Amino acid sequence: MVRLWDPRTGKEIGAPLAGHRKWITSLAWEPLHINPKGNRLASSSKDGTVRVWDTSLRRCVFTLAGHTAAVTCVKWAGDGRIYTSSQDKTIKIWNPDGTLYKTLTGHAHWVNTLAFSTDFVLRTGAYDHTGREPENEEDAQKKALKRYNEAKGKGPERLVSGSDDFTMFLWDPLNSSKPVARMTGHQKVVNHVSFSPDGRLIASASFDNSVKMWDGITGNFIASLRGHVAAVYQVCWSSDSRMLLSSSKDSTLKVWDLRTKKLKLELPGHADEVFTVDWSPGGDMVASGGKDRVLKLWKH
C-alpha cells in the first residue's frame, strides 16, 4: 500500500492506495514544473510493476508492466518520462502516457539504483536558497521550470545507474541506448548513487565499505573516500555540493570534505546499522534512520 500523510499534522490523508501485490520499493512524485498540482505519484514494487496514482482521485491512472523481475527504483524525469530499474538487469524509459519508450541494457546483474543530474532541482521545485514562497501555482510552476532549465543546461539530463555487478553506467538516455561511460572500481555491490546538486559530481555507496567520487560529465574516477568499516548504504549531498554525507552498516554517519577528499566529521550515536540519510534542502539539518528503529536529527 501507499499511504499519504499531511506533514503539518502527522495525520493520514484518506484511504491507502492499494493495488501492488508485493512490497513497494521506491516512490517518485511528478515534477512541479510539469504538474503544479503535485497530485501524481509513481510507485515501484517487488511485484515487477510501477503504478502511477492520482492522489486526489485516489486511483491508479495506469500501470507500467514491462519488467520481468522486481522493480528496484523509479525516477520521474524533468521531461515527463518515467525511468525504472529492475532485477531483470534493465532500465526502462516510459513515455508520459505509460507506453514504453526505450530499454537500456548492459548491466550483468540487478540494477539497484538510479540518479539524475537534475535530481536536486526536481526535488526542491520552486524553492531555492532565498526561501521566498511562490505567490500561486502558476508562479511555482514558472520558478520550478526556470530552475530545472538552468540545472539541465544546454544538454539533456544525464542518468547514472548502479548495479550488483559492481559497476555504474553513465547514460545520455534520450540520445543513445549505449552508456557514455562504464564506471568500474567498486569491489562489491553498488547500493546507491547520487549526483551533486550542481550536477558536476557523482557519489556512489558500496558494500565494499567505500564511497567513490566520479566526474558527472565524463564518468571518470576522481577519488575513494575510506573510513567506514562496513557496507555503505546511502550518500547525500549538502545543497552547495561542497560536502557529502554517508551512512553505513558500521552504525555511523560520516561527513566528507570534497575539497580535501578527507573525512570532516563523524556522527556516532545510532546503536545499529544506519540504512538511510538525507540532508535538508536548506542545508541546516540532517536526518538519519536505521536498524535501531530510531530517527535522529542533526544540526549542521
- In the prediction, which pLDDT does 253 show? 96
CATH number of 19-70+80-105+118-154: 2.130.10.10
Q: For a pLDDT cut of 70, what percent of the chain falls above it?
A: 100
Q: Do domains 19-70+80-105+118-154 and 107-116+157-300 have the same CATH topology?
A: yes
- In the prediction, which pLDDT does 157 show? 93
pLDDT in tens, 101-120: 999 999 999 999 999 999 99
Q: pLDDT-based confidence at 153, cuts 50/70/90?
A: confident
- In the prediction, which pLDDT does 62 show? 96
Mean pLDDT over the full length of the chain: 94
Instruction: Summarize the confidence of residues 257-264 as an average pLDDT.
Output: 92
Q: pLDDT-based confidence at 222, cuts 50/70/90?
A: very high
> In the chain, helix, strand, coil percent, each to 5?
5, 45, 50
- In the prediction, which pLDDT does 80 show? 96
Cα gap 55→37, rounded to integer Å? 10
Instruction: Summarize the confidence of residues 164-189 as an average pLDDT.
Output: 96
- In the prediction, which pLDDT does 197 show? 94
Output the pTM of the full model.
0.94
Q: pLDDT-based confidence at 131, cuts 50/70/90?
A: confident
Q: pLDDT-based confidence at 7, cuts 50/70/90?
A: confident
- In the prediction, which pLDDT does 127 show? 86
pLDDT in tens, 180-209: 999 999 999 999 999 999 999 999 999 999
C-alpha cell at 258: 570534497
Cα gap 47→39, rounded to integer Å? 24
- In the prediction, which pLDDT does 288 show? 96
Instruction: Summarize the confidence of residues 35-56 as an average pLDDT.
Output: 96
Q: CA gyration radius for the chain? A: 19
Q: pLDDT-based confidence at 128, cuts 50/70/90?
A: confident
**Cα(first)–Cα(last) distance of the chain, in Å?**
34
- Domains of the chain: which residue ranges? 19-70+80-105+118-154, 107-116+157-300
- In the prediction, which pLDDT does 186 show? 97
CB burial of 66-82 (b: ≥16 within 10 Å; e: otherwise) equals bbeebbbbbbbbbbebb
Instruction: Summarize the confidence of residues 230-251 as an average pLDDT.
Output: 96
Q: pLDDT-based confidence at 129, cuts 50/70/90?
A: confident
CB 291 within 8 A of CB 273: yes
107-116+157-300 folds as: Methylamine Dehydrogenase; Chain H (2.130.10)
Closest CA to 107 of 171, 49, 50: 171
Q: For a pLDDT cut of 90, what percent of the chain falls above it?
A: 88
Q: pLDDT-based confidence at 282, cuts 50/70/90?
A: confident
- In the prediction, which pLDDT does 300 show? 72
Instruction: Summarize the confidence of residues 114-136 as an average pLDDT.
Output: 89
In the predicted model, is pLDDT for residue 216 greater than 90?
yes
Cα gap 210→153, rounded to integer Å? 31
> What residues contact residue 99 under an 8 Å CB cut-off, 6+ apart?
none
- In the prediction, which pLDDT does 34 show? 96
For 129, other C-beta atoms within 10 Å of its C-beta total 11
